[in-house]
Structure 1
């Protein structure tokens, strides 16, 4: 069996796990709104902390794929740099307050530039890996997560759009809730993509 092949039983089991996790995230946001009104949607609230947690798990799994399993080295490095930069970006307020203003930009630059340089140097390897990865379930989930997080949530969370929708009833909390919860969904999809990538890497390792 090809390492890219996923059995129907395995697909159903993973789908169930992903559905349950997604439901748990939505329920967490709901409970945050009810029981934690002072911190909801803030830097120390459930939604923001969960976003950072999902990204941190992604980075750890990708490090495992690259350094532990030694599979898909350029794909995993590029994804790790991208999601690691996103994790740092999520901490912008804390870094600005406790390190220095603009600290997150410096850290992101130190993560992204060396990683891009390494991938560009190994571009032939990257293209060969990408040709196979682009046909995987993981890539489809990653593309969906990227679009939801970095495109849809940014456009959906625009203040002017919510002002137009709500008119005189506009409250910034509506805009924040729309943007942050959509972003949370996107990060969940990215985590599912990284989990699938990890499982794919393990299958490739065991079928050698």
Structure 2
């Protein structure tokens, strides 16, 4: 069997104090988001849970930050180049999808699909072309805390929120009290939680990549 292009390398251990500090910061992040959602529900009656509301804008900001951090990992830290390319393509496509209203309104109808295609297809081509490097990088990344968080964020955003936000579910729960607005709020807030987990996962990946270099 040929040697792996990425031989296993144990990262520098994380201290207990550093772990507690990071956990506290992540708790504050989630708490701040929930307070922002509460503020939106109370005081932003005209735009709440719309394209101009706190929740939607927070999703866009998070996806922008995640995309930028993945480019930083790939081009500056030079860690997991094919894995981070695929992650970037996925996250950036989600960002474009969140901005579909603006692209369809101010560019042309269906513009976001074109942009997503132009991002996804070259990225997939590159990953498939370098599939052996991708598999070696993925094997290294899959056993990390960051990967577990990223997978959790993916499941929350793209699987759980879709089922949790089904109209049929909330019609069955609320019966004659059903209102689409409530269903939309539940889905959007759940998506924001998923994006938060993905953001934390990418922050953890930056720290992991730096420990690999140490």
Q: TM-score, normalised by structure 2?
A: 0.94
Q: State the secondary structure of the residue aligned to 1:6.
A: coil
TM-aligned CA distance change 1:4 to 1:147, over 3 Å: farther
Number of residues of Structure 1 aligned to a counterpart in Structure 2: 206
Partner of 2:3: none
Partner of 1:137: 145
Partner of 2:45: 37
Alpha-carbon distance in structure 2 between the residues aligned to 1:116 and 1:7: 37
RMSD of aligned Cα (Å): 1.1
Which ranges in structure 2 are unaligned for 5 or more consecutive residues? 1-8
In the alignment, structure 1 residue 77 sits paired with structure 2 residue 85: yes
Partner of 1:104: 112
In the alignment, structure 1 residue 10 sits paired with structure 2 residue 18: yes
Give the alignment of 1:1-208 within 5 angstroms.
Answer: 2-3=10-11, 5-205=13-213, 207=214
CA displacement 1:73-97 (0-9 Å, x = unmatched):
0111110110000000000111111
Q: Alpha-carbon deviation of 1:7?
A: 2.3
Q: State the secondary structure of the residue aligned to 1:37.
A: coil
Q: TM-score, normalised by structure 1?
A: 0.96
Q: Alpha-carbon deviation of 1:4?
A: 6.2
Alpha-carbon distance in structure 2 between the residues aligned to 1:138 and 1:4: 15
CA displacement 1:87-143 (0-9 Å, x = unmatched):
000001111111111111100000011001111111111111111100000000001
Which ranges in structure 1 are unaligned for 5 or more consecutive residues? none
CA contact (8 A) 1:4 1:136 kept: no
